[in-house]
Structure formats: structure tokens, C-alpha cells
Amino acid sequence: MKRRQILAAAGVGLAATALVGCNKEAEPGAGKSEAGASAEKFSWKMVTSWPKNFPGVGVGAERFARLVNEMSAGRLTVKVYAAGELVPALEVFDAVSRGTAEMGHGAPYYWKGKVPAAQFFCALPFGPNAQEMNAWLHRGGGMELWEEVYKPFGVLPMACGATGVQTAGWFNKEIKSVDDFRGLKMRTPGLGGEVLTRMGGTVVNMPAGEIFTALQTGAIDATEWIGPYNDLALGLHKAAKYYYTPGWQEPNVTFELDVNLKAWETLPDDLKAIVRAAARDVNGDMLDDYNAKNMEALEQMREQGVEVRRLPDEVLARLKEVAAEAVDAAAAADPVASKVWEQQRAYMQRLYEYAELNEKDIYNIRG
């Protein structure tokens, strides 16, 4: 049986006591069915940081909404708003925090200015891959820390999507040495952006819909977005000449589902369970999607003449040194981030030791 069918069967079969909710509708004669489930209906809005139905992230947000609707038999419906339809792409967290929307879907490092510790739940330069980040979040205490960090803002976070290893990005100039980063204007968020700044570059933040034009017109010299799947959809191969790997700045990005805590507290327990189950489904399904589609998209771009280049060893070595400095500095600048990093670093070291012992040789020998 497919995962979706299993989740749907499990979700529809759940039952719990009804609670009073916000933005809810009650049908005539609403109450409890013979099975004891609440007949109350909740209609929620979910704002996102993505263009409508954008491959990977946008599709994942739509999948989440569809799963919740199906698993709850229509008792909780979620309407998805693309970036800019209700709020700008980089204001999703604020919208959920203040209750403009009950839910949001975005990337934690987009709101590092408001919540400095958020970026540690998203992506670390030369850091964990998707499997390692998920292990920390769901088995290593990461989710408990994440909830603690967001609680003062009235937001409940859940992991809801992952990219896997990204690419280093698109450049309109060759990268031959560390000096080539000086003066480079690049769209790259989070801690990767902190590294670029320390390398002498300039970070330019912008949502997906603005990247192509900025790169084509020279407003930026380079950009990283996610990888071939999304890069092809944005047409970045038509706006820049050089495509570099590996994605040192983001060995993975974890996306988040944000839920307004006051709204969350109005849901009965079975609908809460459905939301959590749908988020976990999307968290895994999106990674599957990227693993499959990145390969296909890169093949298409190569057919169109795109040449993939590897960053020089000396450049990667220097980036790694600077990344360690940037991550430590970001943690030291905020007591909450410091607490998160201390726990995360200790757990990640154990994961890295296992990967070094058992997984690294397999990749090398296979290659």
C-alpha cells in the first residue's frame, strides 16, 4: 500500500474530543458522530515562501495541504498561498506569529534576523546531510530545542521537507582562487552568506522569483538556489555561464511548517496528529523528489551545453576554515543560538564519526 494511502487510512480512523477552534465552520446539527469524532470544520490559510506550485518546495506545500484535507475527511482544510499572494516570501514567519495565517511553509534561515538560532535548524556549511539533520531533529533532541526557540513567538515548528546536498551555484565569473570571492555580489542566505561576507563578498537576499532577472542584468554576479531541479525551472542556466559544485554552503536545507500556537491549541488531538503525520510525509517525500529530479534536470542542462565545474581544492579548504569561524561566531552572538549549537555540535560529531567509519569508504569505492 502506498504511503499516502496508509496515512489517509490512519488519519481518517483517528478520533478525539472536539475543542473550540478559530476560523472554523460548523455544519447544521454539528456535534459528535456515532464514532465520537468532532464534526467541526476548520479552514486554515498557509502562506509560503515559494512561487505557486514551484517544483520541490512549492509542490511539497501543496502536497501537505492535500494530505491534511484527505486524512481529515475535510474537517481541516488548508488553502495554500504562494509568495506575494498574501504576504511577501520572506515574511512567512511573521505572518504566522501574528496570526495573519494559521500556517506557513518556508526556510528557517530566512528569519535569522528575528530568530538568530533559526538558521541552525536549516543548513550548516560543510554540515549535516538530510539524513543526519533528520536524525538530530527527530531522535537527538533537535525538535525539542526548535520548539523551545520558537515558543516565545507563538509559533510551533515542524520539519517539512529537505533538499539533500545542493550545488555551489551559478557564477558569471570563474572561481580559480579564494581572491575571486572578493567583491562578488551573490544571492546566498543563512550561514553560507556569513561565509561569503567573510571572504570579501556581498550578500544579496531575494526570493526565487527575482533571481533570474538579477543574475541576467548583473545586479548580482552569482547565486545559489537549490540544485538542478529548481535551477532548471528558474532558467538559471540561461543567465550564468559557470555551474559549480559541491554545495559546501548547504549540504542540506530543512524546510519548516510553522503553525500559530493559539490556532494549534484549538485543534482536537486527532487533527493535530494528522498535521504531524502529513508534515513527516512531506519531509521524506520532498527529499525523494529532489533525489530523482536533480538527476534528470542535470541531464537536460548538460544536453543544452551546461558544463559543471568543481571548485578548486584550495578554495574549498579555505571556505571550510571560514565556515567554522562563521558558525562559531553566529552562535556566540546569541545565547539561544549558542545553546542550540552546543547540543547540535556534540550530536553531529557522533554522526560524522559513524559516517567516516562506515559510509565514506562506500561512496569512495563506488565512485
Find the helix or strand (DSSP H, E) in which 33 lies.
none
- Consult the annotation and say whether 224 binds a ligand: yes
- Consult the annotation and say whether 62 binds a ligand: no
Tell me if 186 sits within 8 A of 249, measured CB to CB.
no
Distance, in Å, from the CA atom of 180 to the CA atom of 172, rounded to the nearest integer, reads: 11
3 state DSSP class of 166:
coil
- Consult the annotation and say whether 187 binds a ligand: yes
* DSSP string for 120-158: GGT--TT---HHHHHHHHHHSSHHHHHHHHHGGGTEEEE
Distance, in Å, from the CA atom of 135 to the CA atom of 307, rounded to the nearest integer, reads: 34
Distance, in Å, from the CA atom of 92 to the CA atom of 280, rounded to the nearest integer, reads: 20
- Rounded (to 5) percent helix, strand, coil in the chain: 55, 15, 30
Distance, in Å, from the CA atom of 240 to the CA atom of 69, rounded to the nearest integer, reads: 41
Q: What are the φ/ψ torsions at residue 107 (nearest 5 degrees)? A: -115, 130
- The set of cell numbers assigned to 93 is 514567519
Please enumerate, by residue number, every residue annotated as part of a binding site for Na(+).
Answer: 225
Please enumerate, by residue number, every residue annotated as part of a binding site.
Answer: 166, 187, 224-225, 250
Please enumerate, by residue number, every residue annotated as part of a binding site for substrate.
Answer: 166, 187, 224, 250
